[in-house]
Amino acid sequence: MSSEQEPGTDVATRTDAPERFENPGLPAHRHRLADTDPRAAKRAERQVALLFGLSALGSILLIVTYFAVPLDGTFATLFKSNLGLGLGLGLAMFGIGVGAIHWAKTLMPDTERIEMRHPMRGSDEDREAAAEILALGAQESGLGRRALLRNSLIGAAALAPLPALLLLGDLGPLPQDKLAHTFWERGKRLARDPSGTPIKASEVTRGSVYHVMPEGIEDAEHPLEEKAKAAVLLIRLDPQDVEPMPGREGWDVDGIYAYSKICTHVGCPVALYEQTTHHLLCPCHQSTFDVEQHCKVIFGPAKRPLPQLPISVDDEGYLVAQSDFHEPVGPSFWERG
Ligand code: FES
């Protein structure tokens, strides 16, 4: 290899480079054992069928375990169930996956095919040729000829989705309208959380925010789930500062307002109250609600105001709910579900 320098430039120019390079082409095709030895091809076919059969057995093991091993809360049955389900699912997926790879590597044609670039829509001749190649590929893959392989694949593929269906069924019942209701109801006292002591209107001072729950929520069937929906913030404002909201006259008690604490964006607890501006701030994505405008969203990704809980006082001066919320609490998609 040599080079020479053009006068007045520093660009080196190759003088021994050929005019053009020849396409070296593809390396010579090496036949696999199964291509030349019919006994090796038969052996590979049996191996693939065995793997597909293993997959079918795995699916059956999972289904049998699901129905035959009752979960009675003991460690022994839990162990048996998990072992059967895990082993079954593993075998089902392993068998069908490795079987397909082994089939492709040993029995399917492995010659390189080159298709030159052409306009997006091929000519009719090209399309006919492509259809012929596809038909030839299907024929060469052995699906038509190799009945054992085809039938074992059909069996494994037919059973493979069943475990997924069974496991999906275990996700539990649909929530139905549970998300549209909370533990609040007419006459239910507002109680401090976590002490559970009811709160009087006279105890709510201006500038403070109180986290309250319905009295007796600890006795609910699922107290944590109920608390997640029923959490309320109690705030006392100067009634002169609050914009009137048509239809909500009488929902407050002398400037004491109750709003859901569950952010209408994706459900974080709205936890920060700015005393001077009367803004409630959600720490997750900074949605900001203006309490003076009935918790309208003034900043952030939330799309609707915090739902208001209508409240009043009972004969003893304790704050009570007039009803449940008039709309679902939390993320907006709940009410669209
Ligand atoms: S959850 Fe409150 S802003 Fe996103």
Give DSSP secondary structure letters for 136-168.
HHHHHTTTTT-HHHHHHHHHHHHHTHHHHHHHH
SS3 297: strand
Spell out the residues 6+ positions from residue 323 whose beta carbon is closer than 8 angstroms to its own.
184, 185, 186, 310
- Quick: pLDDT tens for 292-311: 999 999 999 999 999 999 99
Residue 3 has pLDDT above 70, yes or no: no
pLDDT band at residue 118 under the 50/70/90 scheme = low
Kindly tell me if the per-residue pLDDT of 137 is higher than 90: no
Q: How far is the CA of 329 from the centre of ligand 1 (A)?
A: 13
Quick one: pLDDT band at residue 14, thresholds 50, 70, 90?
A: low
Strands in 279-281's sheet, in edge-to-edge order, are 272-274, 279-281, 288-290, 296-299
How high does pLDDT run on average in the chain? 87
Structure confidence at residue 334 as a pLDDT band (50, 70, 90): low
Mean pLDDT of 146-154: 86
Counting from 1 in the atom list of ligand 1, the atom nearest the Cα of 331 is: 1
Atom of ligand 1 nearest to the CA of 300: 3
The model's pLDDT over 241-284, given as tens digits with 9 standing for 90+, comes to: 888 888 998 999 999 999 999 999 999 999 899 988 999 999 99
Task: Give, for ligand 1, the residue of 260, 262, 284, 304 to mutate: max count of ligand atoms closer than 8 Å to Cβ.
Answer: 284
User: Is it the case that residue 176 has pLDDT exceeding 90?
Assistant: no
- For residue 302, give the ligand 1 atom closest to its CA: 3
Q: How far is the CA of 266 from the centre of ligand 1 (A)?
A: 5
Q: What is the arithmetic mean of pLDDT over 11-36?
A: 78
> What percentage of residues in the chain have a pLDDT greater than 70?
93
Tell me which of 266, 270, 333 to substitute to probe ligand 1's pocket, judged by most ligand atoms within 8 Å of the beta carbon. Answer: 266
**What predicted TM-score, i.e. pTM, was given to this entire model?**
0.55
Q: Which ligand 1 atom is at minimum distance from the Cα of 282?
A: 2
Residue 50 has pLDDT above 50, yes or no: yes
> In a mutational test of the pocket of ligand 1, which residue from 260, 262, 263 has the highest number of ligand atoms less than 8 Å from its CB?
263
Give the integer Cα–Cα distance in Å for 46 and 44: 5
For residues 75 and 83, give the distance between their C-alpha atoms in angstroms, rounded to a whole number.
12
Q: In the predicted model, what is the mean pLDDT of residues 11-15?
A: 57
